[in-house]
Structure 1
Amino acid sequence: MDVVGEREDSPVGTMDELINPGVVARLRDSLVSVAPQLELPSLEDVARNLEAKRLRDRVDLVRDALLRDIPGGFPTAERVVTDVLAEPRFAGWMIWPVTEFVSTRARESGSEADFDAGMDLLAQLTIGLSSEFAIRDLLIERPQRALDIMRTWTAHDNEHVRRLATEGSRSYLPWARRVPWLIEHPDATRSIIDATYRDPEEYVRRSTANHLNDLSRSNPALVTEIARTWRDNSDANTPWVLRHGLRTLVKKADLDALALLGYTGDGLHVARPTLSSVSVPAGGTIEFSSVVTNNGETDATVAIDYSIGFVRANGMLSHKTFKLASRQLAPGEAAVVGKRHSFRPITTRTYYPGRHVVTVQANGILSPAAEFDLEG
């Protein structure tokens, strides 16, 4: 989720604090400035009850307060939100719960006209903060109607609206509600990504590549068909889009995806990684190296990745694959590849002590696993 301009509301602590009492107070002031008749008591109350709540829960609490404080159905919501868009203080993370408020009112209406107007309002809001999460409920409600509208956004003059078309309709958008219809109809969004893979903005092209990668989870054959068409109608940026969009299929050694990206070699061998240590302190790093050998009779173009098997809370391993290198190897040639992987604390993963593993792969061909212990 991206914010345009300066992020005054960025947290000094955790992501949960992106929606904090100060943000809610500024949202309330912004709304009162354009609709003085609103008293907004629920919004005032919720600002005092955010402590210890997760970010998503905070968004929902603010949305629910808006639903209580601004009655009158979608026409009232549309009027208030349209007015507040012109208020300079209405910026940053306060926009997220407002997008959810708009989506809820548009769905409650049951009117196709209100549905369309709600989609349009989300497109306006996304210029300040992405509406990618709020639009999911509208896609669930009327997937085909929503996609018809989103296709028109691919020609919009604002890159944030174009990105909403690609990002909001992803099959497996992270942290977002699943839209089962999209997973059941993987070709339904093809016209959207066909229209954006050569977008002038890298911001949009990255979303398109991630969208293509999502589709590979349910229909690899469709993805390689799309990628082949894009390769044959490419511009200077298309090779990157294809590499990023096919990354999961490459990690899975999909032969069509590898060939599309120019990776070759049918006689590769990957040695078990050599580790710098068999024990890593909490917050430390593990350094490893491996040897990739081309035992074939022709030159090989090789995509090399590595995977860490992380211990989960239940003691099971969860594998995550990372890019490592690309190499050209002549017949009989070997290359040493290596990496230092950090276990410093990050917000997106919790590290648990125990026996971890690392593997290296070349064009999807796996090395034997090397084990190490992460200390508590």
Structure 2
Amino acid sequence: MPTADELIGADTVSALARLLGRATGRRSPAPALRDCAGALDGLSYSGRVTAVRDAVLADLPADWPGFEAVLRTALEDPGFDGWMTFPVNEAVAVRGLEVFEPGLALLHDLTPRLTAESAVRPFLRADPARALAVVRDWTADPDPHVRRLASEGTRPRLPWAAQLPAFVADPRPALPVLDALYRDESEYVRRSVSNHLNDISRDHPGLAVETAARWLAAPAPTTDRAVRHGLRTLVKAGWAEALSVLGHSPDAPVTVSGPVIGTPRVSVGEYLVFDYEVTNDAAGPAELVLDYVIQHVKANGTRTPKVFKLVTRAVLSGETLAGTKRHSFKPITTRRYHSGEHLVQLQVNGVVHGEAAFSLDAG
């Protein structure tokens, strides 16, 4: 994962200062950006974006026509590309709200240099209907970066960006964007559509399943994969309707053996090892989603579940899926481990079958 300095460092900002200096007709670098390049140490990534954005706003004309003219001149330079453009997009989100549609049009032209998915969101927050009227047109754009912007920018819970409260509460106004793109020729675009559907599933699982079923009724060859990725959170949670729409019946007759623990005591940094067997008892083949659940001990002694993938495949009548799983307990920043008796469970098509205990030493 690149560091903040690698993404938006002094060299990147200095290059932007020179480029925008030329675009404004100066013979020297843009002064606020030049000074900003030397004042980035100690700033987080978001702090750097904000500092560079503010420097761009200080260096460029305060009126929209002048501001836009400089950036359109900059767009003629092939060097105006990559991470230097991200805080520029954020500057457009500040200045462009005053004029709205022209601001969105400029983001449309900037996004092929580096996605404007974060910068489009202030427009959607300020006036969702007005912004969506523009964004829906982007779904027919010949550039896949612009089509992806339509889907990614309207995601209710886009990571590392401000949420869209109106779409968290009711994502239906943005569904025409997804309907236009779920069969897109670009995997880059379809993956965004799947992630958008997954966002919807977190707050409106019924709507997500309904949407997925509608897409599967009018599919492209890529639709099954797109829908599976879009419903992944519901599948892992054992949501019966999501499993059913994907062909995984929660009522599938199976015989489950295990989990059989091979490492009854585990320390942080080591592996939990367990064996499993699942046999399809149906008269015909069955589509099985086999997961496992770790019931982690919390600081207060209670447990909280986390679902992990094992395998998804069609299993013939009488066929047995068997294997050994090694689950890592190496330290990670997103989870704090606590000592105590943990549980591991097998989950088949969302239904938990059996459990076994093991002891974790968190040190």
Same topology, TM > 0.5: yes
* Deviation for aligned residue 1:375: 4.6
Q: Deviations over 1:80-121 (max 9, x none)?
A: 1111111122111111100000001012x2xxxx21111111
> Aligned equivalents of 2:301 and 2:23: distance in 1?
54
> Aligned equivalents of 1:249 and 1:32: distance in 2?
50
Name the stretch that deviates more: 98-107 or 40-49.
40-49
> Aligned equivalents of 1:249 and 1:362: distance in 2?
14
2:338 is aligned to 354
* Deviation for aligned residue 1:255: 2.4
CA shift in 2, pair 1:320/1:84, >3 Å: farther
- Asked if the contact 1:268–1:365 (Cα under 8 Å) also holds between the matched residues in 2, the reply is no
Amino acid at match of 2:52: V
Q: Where in structure 2 are the equivalents of 1:1-376 lying within 5 Å? A: 11=2, 14-15=3-4, 17-37=6-26, 40-107=30-97, 109=98, 114-266=99-251, 267-268=253-254, 270=256, 273-277=259-263, 278-282=265-269, 284-294=270-280, 299-308=285-294, 319-329=305-315, 334-342=320-328, 349-350=333-334, 352-355=336-339, 358-367=344-353, 368=355, 370-373=357-360, 375=362
- Asked if the contact 2:271–2:326 (Cα under 8 Å) also holds between the matched residues in 1, the reply is yes
| Residue ranges of structure 1 left out of the alignment (5+ in a row) | 1-9
Q: Deviations over 1:112-153 (max 9, x none)?
A: xx2111111111111011111111111111111111111101
Query: How many residues are paired up?
Result: 357
SS of structure 1 residue aligned to 2:47:
helix
> Aligned equivalents of 1:68 and 1:135: distance in 2?
21
Name the stretch that deviates more: 357-366 or 226-235.
357-366
* Deviation for aligned residue 1:294: 4.5
SS of structure 1 residue aligned to 2:172:
coil
* Deviation for aligned residue 1:235: 1.5
TM-score by length of 1: 0.85
> Aligned equivalents of 1:146 and 1:326: distance in 2?
40
Q: Deviations over 1:239-269 (max 9, x none)?
A: 1111111212222222222122111251446
> Aligned equivalents of 1:57 and 1:92: distance in 2?
18
> Aligned equivalents of 2:32 and 2:297: distance in 1?
43
> Aligned equivalents of 1:352 and 1:192: distance in 2?
39
SS of structure 2 residue aligned to 1:217:
helix
CA shift in 2, pair 1:129/1:292, >3 Å: same
1:5 is aligned to none
* Deviation for aligned residue 1:16: 5.0
Instruction: State, as a whole percentage, how many aligned pairs show the same letter.
Output: 41
> Aligned equivalents of 1:254 and 1:87: distance in 2?
50
CA shift in 2, pair 1:275/1:68, >3 Å: farther
Amino acid at match of 1:78: E
> Aligned equivalents of 1:374 and 1:315: distance in 2?
14
> Aligned equivalents of 2:79 and 2:302: distance in 1?
47
> Aligned equivalents of 2:24 and 2:43: distance in 1?
29
Amino acid at match of 2:56: L
Name the stretch that deviates more: 35-44 or 88-97.
35-44
Name the stretch that deviates more: 114-123 or 308-317.
308-317
Name the stretch that deviates more: 64-73 or 26-35.
64-73
Q: Deviations over 1:13-48 (max 9, x none)?
A: x24531111111111111112113386332222222
Amino acid at match of 1:35: T
1:3 is aligned to none
- Asked if the contact 2:18–2:29 (Cα under 8 Å) also holds between the matched residues in 1, the reply is no
SS of structure 2 residue aligned to 1:176:
coil
Name the stretch that deviates more: 17-26 or 294-303.
294-303
| Residue ranges of structure 2 left out of the alignment (5+ in a row) | none
SS of structure 2 residue aligned to 1:354:
coil
* Deviation for aligned residue 1:319: 4.8
- Asked if the contact 1:292–1:337 (Cα under 8 Å) also holds between the matched residues in 2, the reply is no
Q: RMSD of the alignment, in Å?
A: 2.8
TM-score by length of 2: 0.88
CA shift in 2, pair 1:269/1:215, >3 Å: farther
SS of structure 2 residue aligned to 1:273:
strand
- Asked if the contact 1:34–1:80 (Cα under 8 Å) also holds between the matched residues in 2, the reply is yes
CA shift in 2, pair 1:370/1:154, >3 Å: farther
